[in-house]
């Protein structure tokens, strides 16, 4: 079958690869759409160390069931599906207590980190375990369903954030996940949402997708502006979607006493923390990793239009266009938000 293969860093090739093996508990999916994630771009140049060539990347996907293993009886051929990006073992302590995203033995599709190599969905077909596969309604297009994985990150972050109906939420970072977080935290109960970024185009998108106020982080004193919008108190919760010292500090200083900051971004491995502000104002810091079973809720939220991904998809391409698009995205293309590869496209 054809696949987009990372043969060496900064070099992608469309080539023939072996058909995926289908185990007794697996589902073989014909990939109809797979989004290019920012982590794939970082994997392309080797900066993450988690995509060691040769590797088929891609973990944001949707498609059609074309075969199943002997133990799979509820996924007939032709079923429209999407699947989680993380493969949990189901046996470790964390899996048994319902925290599959913290699995000791988890593997991520499209990742090769030295400990394992798990080819992803920049290919015509992929084999995945039945337990990470979810059916799709006919009304949800494949290119939208490919973004369920990204939506699940935002929805899980909202789920672990102690937000209540009527709260004010600040979302620091209006990239792909940040724009989804704007929508997810509103769906979770926030009635005033403030988005912060350095890019006017992203802030305009945040406004279109439900932010009540948008702030340019380099032009205004964000914590002061947030206090002005909240009767001097500060926001009840903040979601930080960058992962660097300046933005985390902005999120912390933007919440009220006793507020909560959920950390989603992880660009920097370490950051400086304004410890006295956190301690003396009793701020709660909550990390969040991937998702933990929220796919059905995400599919429902998207299908009902509560979370809208259509404005985020800026280009749809075939496998053959993959190499040049990776070069383009790696060089930096401010006009692109989400590029979706359609492996069946001629």
Query: Quick one: CA dihedral 143, 153, 10, 126, positive or negative?
Result: negative
DSSP string, 114-179: SS-EE--SSBSEEEEEGGGEEE--TTS-HHHHTTHHHHHHHHHHHHHS---TT-EEEEE--SHHHH
Same domain, 73 and 128: yes
User: What pLDDT is stored for residue 345 in this prediction?
Assistant: 87
The pLDDT of 295-317, averaged and rounded, is 97
Positive or negative torsion for Cα 79, 82, 85, 89: negative
Question: How many domains are contained in the chain?
Answer: 2
- Same domain? 101 vs 182: no
As a whole number of angstroms, the distance between CA 24 and CA 8 comes to: 33
3-state secondary structure of 6: strand
Dihedral sign (CA 216, 220, 222, 228): negative
Each residue's pLDDT tens digit, 301-310: 999 999 999 9
When pLDDT is averaged across residues 110-135 and rounded to a whole number, the result is 96
Q: How confident is the model at residue 283 (pLDDT cuts 50, 70, 90)?
A: very high
Answer yes or no: is 102 within a domain.
yes
Task: Assess whether 160 and 141 both reside in one domain.
Answer: no
Output the domain CATH number for residue 192.
Answer: 3.40.50.720
Q: Is the predicted pLDDT of residue 346 greater than 80, yes or no? A: no
The per-residue pLDDT for 49 is: 84
- The rounded mean pLDDT for the chain is 96
Domain that holds residue 110: 2-147+309-342
CA distance 171 to 182: 6
* pLDDT of amino acid 234: 98
Give yes or no for a cis peptide into 105 (omega within 30° of 0): no
Which candidate, 83, 93, 6, places its Cα nearest to that of 51?
A: 6
User: Do 179 and 109 have their domain in common?
Assistant: no
Distance CA 328, CA 322 (A): 10
The mean per-residue pLDDT over the stretch 136-147 comes to 98
Give 117's pLDDT tier (boundaries 50, 70, 90): very high
Q: Are residues 280 and 158 in the same domain?
A: yes
Q: What pTM did the predictor assign?
A: 0.95
């Amino acid at each position: 079958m054809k696949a987009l293969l990372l043969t060496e860093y900064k070099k992608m090739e469309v080539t023939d690869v072996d058909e995926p093996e289908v185990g007794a508990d697996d589902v073989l999916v014909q990939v109809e759409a797979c989004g290019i994630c920012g982590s794939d771009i970082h994997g392309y140049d080797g900066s993450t160390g988690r995509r060691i060539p040769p590797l088929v990347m891609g973990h944001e996907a949707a498609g059609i069931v074309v075969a199943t293993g002997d133990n799979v009886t509820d996924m007939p051929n032709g079923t429209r599906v999407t699947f989680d990006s993380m493969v949990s073992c189901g046996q470790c302590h964390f899996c048994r207590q319902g925290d599959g995203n913290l699995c000791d033995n988890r593997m991520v599709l499209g990742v090769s980190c030295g400990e394992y190599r798990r080819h992803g969905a920049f290919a015509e077909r992929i084999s995945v375990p039945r337990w990470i596969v979810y059916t799709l309604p006919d009304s949800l297009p494949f290119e939208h369903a490919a973004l369920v994985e990204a939506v699940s990150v935002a929805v899980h972050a909202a789920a672990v954030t102690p937000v209540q109906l009527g709260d004010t939420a600040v979302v620091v970072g209006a990239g792909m996940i940040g724009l989804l977080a704007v929508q997810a935290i509103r769906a979770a109960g926030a009635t005033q949402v403030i988005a912060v970024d350095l890019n006017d185009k992203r802030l305009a998108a945040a406004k279109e997708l439900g932010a009540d106020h948008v702030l340019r982080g380099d032009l205004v004193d964000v914590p002061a502006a947030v206090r002005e919008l909240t009767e001097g108190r500060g926001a009840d919760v903040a979601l930080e979607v960058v992962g660097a010292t300046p933005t985390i500090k902005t999120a912390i200083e933007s919440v009220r006493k006793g507020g909560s900051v959920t950390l989603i971004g992880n660009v920097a491995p370490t950051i400086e923390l304004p410890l006295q502000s956190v301690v003396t104002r009793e701020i709660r810091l909550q990390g969040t990793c991937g998702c933990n079973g929220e796919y059905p809720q995400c599919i429902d939220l998207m299908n009902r239009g509560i979370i809208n991904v259509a404005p985020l998809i800026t280009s749809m391409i075939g496998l053959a266009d993959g190499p040049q698009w990776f070069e383009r995205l790696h060089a930096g293309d401010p006009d692109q938000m989400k590029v979706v590869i359609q492996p069946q496209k001629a």
